[in-house]
Amino acid sequence: MQYKTPGVYIVEKNAFPNSVVEVATAIPVFIGYTEKAADGPVDKSYTPTYIASLADYIRYFGGAPTPSFSLSSTLAVAQDAKTRFFLYHSVMLYFANGGGPAYVISVGSYANATVNGKAMADFLPDPTKLGNGKQAPFDALKKVLDVTLVVAPDTTLLGKVDDWAGVWTAALAHCNTMQSRMAIIDIQQGDQPRNYDDKTDVISGSAGFRDKIGTNFLNYGASYYPWLNFNVVDPAAITYAQLDSASLTALVAGLNAELAAMNPQPAASMASKIKALYSSLAPAAPAAPAEAPADGSAEAATPATAPVDAATVTRNHNQLLQISPLYQRVINDMLKLVNLLPPAAAMVGLYAQIDANDGVWQAPANTSIALAVSPAVDLTAEDQADLNVPLDGKAVNAIRTIPGRGLVVWGARTLDGNSQDWRYINVRRTLIMLEQSIKAAVMTYVFAPNDASTWVAVQNMIANFLTNQWKAGALAGAKAADAFSVTVGLGSTMTADDILDGYMRVTVKVAIVHPAEFIELTFQQQMQTS
């Protein structure tokens, strides 16, 4: 300022550099099918929607799907694939395992997916067919900068493995473009055991996970095997009402055969009551069709079965559970099917919990999973060897039951297992956190003078942040100088031409802590000395 009037003027100058604020590290986006997608009259389909709790999810996206089951001639239970959806219960698992804020993108309703089938086009739709300003999920997510994890359990329900792979290769490419998030990938048919056959193995077969996931951007992805048996579905929600008509008839026949084989036989009056109970389960006869109006203005109503009162179903269900081992077995089999879920959503809940309690640099392994009962496939140490250290480096993290420890996550590798830089999930996620935190802070200096004063301010700002990270345990080194270095300046990171062209180049080197994945104990006898 040029002063023109005599007097005393005060000039204040900043003495300290700006500070770097650590960005959030565990905010997932869940992509899949929902009961609805609306906020009142506002359509929320294909719109990243922020939720802070399961109540928020239910408000915008509705509740759980209603499964349908069938019984074979031997009363073996199977679930109708059209009624199988994973997103709702996956979000429940996320919050149960310590998850916090998240985003949800609905790619369709249960009803539409049941009628039209689940397809890759739901997850990667043609932009010209969306309309109303909607965008495909990965395009819409480019505008949501705080998302750090991508989860889509319903992709495992797609009819073709190529469709599943198409979604996840697009997700990995998206993560590479954004450089701020990872894809946690659920393996299609991850509930099936491995047979190590080159053609049919779910992991290494010609149509398996490793072959279909490709080779690009693998450091931004991680996966877990096998699926898990959870205890997340409300048992009261599963009754004989979810059986189709033919299966109900078969169930009644089986219950009557069980009654006839009881030893000792119940008293005649009790047997009569039980038979009456069994008869009440049989499908109701179709109601007579309504007659068409005489003027022909409307068609006759479609014949329908008489509605079953929910209270009656609950009463019958509870009585059957008390008297019939066969019915107990059928219901337990139905519950087991709906509780068999991919593990990615539970894992990102664990990521959030570990980040909050220990820090993003802590490997998300050697920990249990809330509401998990058992792995769908039991793995041994020998089984895990190929999962953890394959020749192609596409590591799959095992979830195992270990004697003395129970069910634990027993792996912390990315899909880029042969890389010394990006082998571990916590290293990848820690560097994402450092990069995005520093990037947001340095935005303040865009268009600032590209001179020594700016360079010193930027260098000090980054160094102060990294010093705090080193003190917290994110960086390895006996002293701060061993843990990181920040360099910026003419002759070190920039040339005179760089400055003329408007470039300020900053080089940051960090020593991120790596997990002790293999601990070797050496024992040797020594001579007696006393």
Residues of the chain above pLDDT 90, percent: 88
Question: What is Dmax (Cα atoms) for the chain?
Answer: 116
Q: Which long-range contacts (CB under 8 A, 24 or more apart) does 192-201 make?
A: 192/226, 192/377, 193/226, 193/377, 194/377, 194/383, 196/386
Give the DSSP per-residue string, 217-274: SGGGEEEEES-EEE--S-GGG--GGGB-HHHHHHHHHHHHHHHHT-SSPPPHHHHHHH
Lowest-confidence range among 157-171, 286-300, 422-436, 473-487? 286-300
Average pLDDT estimate for 338-363 = 98
Average pLDDT estimate for 28-35 = 98
Using DSSP bridges, classify how beta strands 69-71 and 77-79 pair: parallel, antiparallel or unpaired: antiparallel
The residue ranking higher by pLDDT, 409 or 263, is: 409
Q: Predicted confidence band at 284 (pLDDT cuts at 50, 70, 90)?
A: low
Query: What is the set of domains in the chain, with CATH numbers?
Result: 28-233+340-425 (3.40.50.11780), 241-283+304-335 (no CATH), 446-530 (no CATH)
The whole-angstrom separation of Cα 415 and Cα 397 is 9
Lowest-confidence range among 17-21, 58-62, 71-75? 17-21
Average pLDDT estimate for 174-191 = 98
Please check whether residue 477 is in contact with residue 395, taking contact to mean a CB–CB distance below 8 angstroms. Answer: no
Q: Predicted confidence band at 133 (pLDDT cuts at 50, 70, 90)?
A: confident
How many C-beta atoms surround the C-beta of residue 214 within 10 A? 16
The whole-angstrom separation of Cα 363 and Cα 21 is 22
Average pLDDT estimate for 455-470 = 96
Q: Predicted confidence band at 15 (pLDDT cuts at 50, 70, 90)?
A: confident
Q: Predicted confidence band at 2 (pLDDT cuts at 50, 70, 90)?
A: confident
* 300, pLDDT greater than 50: no
Q: What is the pLDDT at residue 308?
A: 66
Lowest-confidence range among 40-54, 62-76, 119-133, 275-289? 275-289
Take residue 196 and report the two structure tokens written for it. Answer: 């190590």
* 65, pLDDT greater than 60: yes
The whole-angstrom separation of Cα 162 and Cα 211 is 10
The residue ranking higher by pLDDT, 426 or 301, is: 426
Please check whether residue 176 is in contact with residue 422, taking contact to mean a CB–CB distance below 8 angstroms. Answer: no
Amino acid at site 69: F
DSSP character for 493? Answer: T
The whole-angstrom separation of Cα 86 and Cα 153 is 6
Q: 196: alpha, beta or left, given left = phi > 0 and alpha = psi -120 to 50?
A: left
pTM for the predicted model, two decimal places: 0.92
* 422, pLDDT greater than 50: yes
* 291, pLDDT greater than 90: no
Helix, strand, coil fractions of the chain, as percent rounded to 5: 40, 15, 45
